[in-house]
Amino acid sequence: MGVNISAPYIYVCTRMRMRKSKLLPKEEYQRMLNMSVSEITRIVGESEYKQEIDELGTTFKGIDLIEVALSWNLAKEYQKIQEITPGTLKQFTQVYLRRWDIQNVLTILRGKMQGVPSGKIKEILVPAGSLDKVALDRMLTEESPDRIIEMLKDHRMFPVLTREYPLAKESGSFSHMENELYKHLYANIINDAKSGVKGGASFLAYIQLEIDIKNVKTLFRLRADKVDEEAREMFIPGGSLSLNDFASLNAIKDLNEFIDMIRANISNDTLHVLLDEVKAKKGGVQYIEARLTRVQLEQMEKMSKRNPFSIHPILVYLEKKKYEVFNLRALARGKESQLPSEKIVDYLVM
Q: Tell me if 14 contacts another protein by CB under 8 A.
A: yes
What 3-state class would DSSP assign to 18?
helix
- Decide if 314 contacts 89 (C-beta within 8 A): yes
Considering the complex, state which of residue 24 and residue 209 has its C-beta at the smaller distance from another protein. 24
Binding residues for another protein, total number by CB under 8 A: 12
Considering the complex, state which of residue 86 and residue 159 has its C-beta at the smaller distance from another protein. 86
* Binding map of another protein across residues 21-50, x = CB under 8 A, - = no contact: -x----------------------------
Q: Tell me if 13 contacts another protein by CB under 8 A.
A: yes
Long-range contacts of 30-38 (CB under 8 A, 24+ apart): 32/328, 32/331, 33/331, 33/341, 33/344, 33/345, 34/341, 35/335, 36/335, 37/62, 37/63, 37/66, 37/332, 37/335, 37/336, 38/62
Q: Tell me if 321 contacts another protein by CB under 8 A.
A: no
Stretch that binds another protein, among 1-9, 141-149, 188-196, 295-303 (CB under 8 A): 1-9
Stretch that binds another protein, among 11-19, 32-40, 57-65, 203-211 (CB under 8 A): 11-19
The kind and range of the H/E element at 282 are: none
DSSP 25: P
- Decide if 325 contacts 73 (C-beta within 8 A): yes
| Binding-site member from 2, 3, 10, 57 for another protein (CB under 8 A) | 10
Considering the complex, state which of residue 62 and residue 86 has its C-beta at the smaller distance from another protein. 86
Q: Tell me if 3 contacts another protein by CB under 8 A.
A: no
Considering the complex, state which of residue 10 and residue 251 has its C-beta at the smaller distance from another protein. 10
Q: Tell me if 51 contacts another protein by CB under 8 A.
A: no
Q: Least distance from C-beta 16 to another protein, angstroms?
A: 8
Q: Tell me if 19 contacts another protein by CB under 8 A.
A: yes
Q: Tell me if 11 contacts another protein by CB under 8 A.
A: yes
Stretch that binds another protein, among 5-13, 125-133, 179-187, 338-346 (CB under 8 A): 5-13
Beta strands in the chain (DSSP E): none
Q: Tell me if 247 contacts another protein by CB under 8 A.
A: no
Long-range contacts of 184-189 (CB under 8 A, 24+ apart): 184/156, 184/157, 184/159, 184/160, 185/98, 185/99, 185/102, 185/157, 186/211, 186/236, 186/237, 186/238, 187/237, 187/238, 188/95, 188/98, 188/156, 189/95, 189/96
- Decide if 63 contacts 332 (C-beta within 8 A): yes
- Decide if 208 contacts 158 (C-beta within 8 A): no
* Orientation of helix 312-336 relative to helix 7-21, angle to 10°: 20
Q: Tell me if 264 contacts another protein by CB under 8 A.
A: no
Q: Tell me if 5 contacts another protein by CB under 8 A.
A: yes
| Binding-site member from 1, 3, 4, 18 for another protein (CB under 8 A) | 18
Q: Tell me if 316 contacts another protein by CB under 8 A.
A: no
Considering the complex, state which of residue 11 and residue 326 has its C-beta at the smaller distance from another protein. 11
Site residues (CB under 8 A) for another protein? 5, 7-8, 10-15, 18-19, 22
